Every structure is written in structure tokens, then in C-alpha cells.
Amino acid sequence: MPTITLEAISKHYSRQSTAVKNIDLHIRSGDFMCLLGPSGCGKTTILRMIAGLEHLSHGRMFIGDQLVDSPDSGCFVAPEKRELGLVFQSYALWPHMTVEQNIDFGLRLRKLPERERRSLAGEVMEKLGIAGYAKRYPSQLSGGQQQRVALARMMVLKPKVLLLDEPLSNLDASLRLEMRAELKRLHQEFNTTILFVTHDQWEAMTLATTIAVMSKGQLQQVGSPDDIYARPANRFVAEFIGNPPINQISADSVLGKHLNCHPGTNMLGIRPEDIHLTQTATPHTLPAKVLGIIPTGGSWVLDVELEGQCLQLSTQIRPLVKVGESTYCQIDPQQLHAFSADGNRQES
Ligand code: ATP
């Protein structure tokens, strides 16, 4: 299976608007990569350039060893020659065709013999759990079932790489969860390389083997979900990933000084789960006042005041304190994230 390599790629839709700025990215064979970032940061543009639906403005793109787009050398390989599978938010099944016929459509275009087509379609319908709906029309299926048909229609063609643009966003919460598990299973079973666009950090954290975080057309960090969460490369990534969000403490504040910032530290980040409630004072605790308690089903989020600053902590232990009461908090210095004035992570 090929890798996809983006070398210093940029996309300008007009002179004023640069959607993607100078991105280097390597998608390894068998990877499940999520492009993650807020709306308008350029995720879809990257996907469309890989699919060949947009031309690069600058840079070079390879699928495997093959150069597929390079404005400098005038090279551009047409979308249908790239052997990629694309599934968008709106999965657009043919309404006048049954599930079976929808899946068969691409195989027919490839002029495969009927017996082989049947066997391939049967196999993929079985794997995706839609064999029972083979004779139904899309209008007779739920959103999740239609989504599975859309995936089956792609998978049956055995694309080198599957490109998915927010494919779960039209589904309700429980179906999304079901389809996430399905996608993960499919990835393992077919060992397909997947590039998945989402603005949902939870989706990216649960699905991806590698996450590429983007902001304003630029890549911020590429790494495993664990890496991105535990060692955010800059303040944008630290703020974007994590719910409740990371607490930010100015190094100049009383609390910042208490936490012993290194020289050059401008901002400290503390994840809510790294602040611990204790009932007794020790040399490592700080006095705190509880401002609010939010139960979140199996865990609790507390608003606490520490050295005049309001922070959020999360805990899986039912808090014994009540709103308005005083208590103590402990912050493990090993779990602090330090950022310099330019927003980049400082290594300790
Ligand atoms: P979303 O999550 O909302 O889909 P995105 O991260 O996928 O956003 P893109 O759709 O890639 O972002 O858009 C990136 C930028 O390029 C945006 O500012 C958008 O307005 C602009 N843009 C996208 N398509 C075009 C186009 N065809 N012509 C001009 N500008 C465009």
C-alpha cells in the first residue's frame, strides 16, 4: 500500500486567501490519520488536493513513488487515476438503485465479470453488516445504514487510500459512536490507509493512529493521540485538545510564581485531571475554595479558586467538599506544561 507525501504544499484560492500554507506531511501505509482543526483551517482543501479535485498552488505531492501534482513541473494526475476512495459528509447514494446495485455500480464500470462482482459485493456487505438490506433502496434505510452502504461502495473497489471528510457528522450521537467502532474495525480488518477529516477532537482521539492538528492553514503538530495530549507542541494544540480545557496560568501571577516557573516561561498549562483535591495541608498543597461542582456521570468537574485564580479540575472520586467550602489542592510539578512567549512548548 502506498504512502502519501506532501512536500511544502500551499493552496491559494485567490490572491487574498491562502487556505493551506507550506505543509509537509507524510501519511504512512496502514495509518489512520485524522486531520483535526477548527472550521476553515484548510482540512477539506488538503483532502481535495490529495483526491485531485484541487490543484496545488505550490509544492509537490506523491502517492507512493509517483509524483501526482507539481505545479513547477506541470505534472497533474487525474482523480480517477489516483485509485483513492472518497466519502464526503453527504454520502449521495443512487436513490433509484438498491443497496446491492449501488455497491455493484463501481465494479460494473471496471467491467468485472458478474460472478466476481457478486462475490466481492457479497463479501463487503457481510463485513459491514448490511447483507440483510441488499434489496432495499436508500430511502428505506436509516442514516447509519446508508453511511455503511456508502462505505461499502468505496471499500469494494479496494482503494489504495480511503479519504473521509467528516463522514459521521450527519449521524445522531449513538449512531456516530457505532460507526466510529465500525470504522476502527474496518481499518484493522482491511488494513486500509485512511485519512479522516474532522473538527471533533474526541473523534480524532478515539480513531486515529496519528493526528495532524491544523490551525489557519498551517500544521501545528503531528503525533499519536497520546503524544498530542501529553506533550502539546504549542498553546494552540494544548487549548484545542482536552475537555474540560487545559488551565492556563500566567507565569507572572502569584500562582505561576508558586509553581516555580523556569526562566523564559510565559504561560503554564495544567490539565484538569492533574489537579488533585486533598483534605489536609502539606508543604505541597495550596489552599483552595470550591466555587462549583458539575457531575458528568462517573466523574466530576470542579471550579476552584487557587491564589485568586479560577481553575477547573476533574476527578473520578466523588468529592467530599461542598460548594463554598475550603479545601486544598495538589499540583504535580511533573505534569505542568510550560510555554514561552511565542506560544511554543518549553522542554524542561
Ligand atoms: P470545515 O471544517 O468548515 O469544512 P476546513 O478546515 O475543511 O473547514 P476548508 O474548507 O479547507 O476548511 O477551507 C479553508 C479556507 O479556504 C477557508 O477560509 C475557506 O473559506 C477557503 N475556501 C475553501 N474553498 C474555497 C473555494 N473554492 N474558493 C475560495 N475559498 C475557499
What domains are there in the chain, each with its CATH number?
A: 4-236 (3.40.50.300), 248-339 (2.40.50.140)
Q: Residue 90's pLDDT is what?
A: 58
Atom number in ligand 1 closest to CA 11: 16
Please state the rounded mean pLDDT for residues 118-129: 89
Average pLDDT over residues 297-321: 95
pLDDT at 47: 94
Please give the Cα distance from 235 to 138 (Å, whole number).
Answer: 45
The whole-model pTM stands at: 0.88
Has residue 293 got a pLDDT over 80? yes
Confidence at 303, pLDDT banded by 50, 70, 90: very high
Nine cell digits for residue 194: 485512511
Task: Compute the average pLDDT of residues 41-47.
Answer: 95
Dihedral (CA of 109, 112, 115, 120) sign: negative
What average pLDDT does the segment 143-151 reach? 84
Q: Is 170 exposed, middle or buried (0-12, 13-18, 19+ CB in 10 A)?
A: middle
Whole-number average pLDDT of the chain: 91
Q: In what order do the strands lie in the sheet with 247-250?
A: 247-250, 267-270, 337-339
Backbone angles phi, psi at 84, to 5 degrees: -110, 150
Please tell me whether the peptide bond between 263 and the residue prior to it is cis, using omega within 30 degrees of 0: no
- How many angstroms is it from 238 CA to the middle of ligand 1? 24
Q: Is the pLDDT of residue 91 over 70?
A: no
- How many Å lie between the centroid of ligand 1 and the Cα of residue 54? 12
Kind and range of the H or E element at 82?
Answer: none
Task: Retrieve residue 186's grid coordinates.
Answer: 474496518
40 Cα to the center of ligand 1, angstroms: 5
| 16 Cβ closer than 6 Å to some ligand 1 atom | no
For residue 35, the SS3 value is strand
How distant, in Å, are the alpha carbons of 256, 285, 304, 306 from that of 259? 5, 11, 17, 12
Tell me the three state secondary structure of residue 307: coil
Pocket flag, ligand 1, residue 176 (CB < 6 Å): no
Indicate the pLDDT class of residue 218, thresholds 50, 70 and 90. very high
Q: Give pLDDT, residue 1.
A: 63
Q: Is 13 a pocket residue for ligand 1 (Cβ < 6 Å)?
A: yes
CA atoms in the 13 A half-sphere facing the CB of 200: 14
Residue 249 amino acid letter: I
Q: What kind and span of H or E run contains 153?
A: helix 143-155
Pocket lining: 94 vs ligand 1, CB cutoff 6 Å: no
* d(C-alpha 273, C-alpha 133), whole Å: 45
Q: Would strands 84-87 and 58-63 be described as parallel, antiparallel, or unpaired?
A: unpaired
The ipTM value here is 0.95
Assess contact for 134 and 125: CB atoms under 8 A: yes
- The SS3 of residue 184 is helix
Supply φ then ψ for residue 145, to 5 degrees.
Answer: -65, -40
Query: How many CB atoms lie under 10 A from the CB of residue 158?
Result: 12
Residues in the chain: 348
Residue 165 has pLDDT above 70, yes or no: yes
